[in-house]
Amino acid sequence: MTRIKHLETLLSSDDTNGSIIELDNFIGELCSYGDEMDTLTEPQKLFYYIQCLEREVNNGGFNQYFINSSGEYAHQTIESLKRIGANTTADILQKAIDQFPEKKVPQDRDERNELVEQIEATANEVWNELDQQFYEYADDLNALNINFVKELKEFF
């Protein structure tokens, strides 16, 4: 099956979650799971940033998101969420980012991890509450992501 036919099949599937996972795996492989982001189109990057957020927060909360490599893309992820219409989730992520000095998450992982260590005593209380808000999925990220991919499928 050609890539385009396969994409059409994924986009028309009733299993939205399965389609999102398959698209995420495909894009993850394309960029060597974040090591080669320049191989992705801009829409693929936006999709990937959101999936990184979902994976990390669902696995270990915002603390884990920020200490792992995904935290490098925190600011880009806000823009990605807004682009697909996930404004509530963007607000939640912004509140998590606001725990950092000057509301800036360093892209450098070592620097970011040092800051997390410095702020986590107070930030974890806020992050834990934000984790719970995130898990409520006020924005249907799967549906919004599928619509985004449908809108720009020539870039996927």
Q: How many CB atoms lie within 10 A of CB 151?
A: 11
pLDDT at 11 (0 to 100): 87
User: Mean pLDDT in runs of 10 for the chain (156 residues)?
Assistant: 74 90 93 95 97 97 97 97 98 98 97 97 97 97 95 93
Per-residue pLDDT at 7: 85
Residue for token digits 């990057």? 45
Amino acid at position 79, single letter: E
Close Cβ partners of 133 (under 8 Å, ≥ 6 residues apart): 92
Query: What are the structural domain ranges in the chain?
Result: 3-155
Q: Read off the amino acid at residue 149.
A: V
**Architecture of the domain defined by 3-155:** Up-down Bundle (1.20)
Q: Measure the CA–CA gap between 137 and 81, rounded to whole angstroms.
A: 13
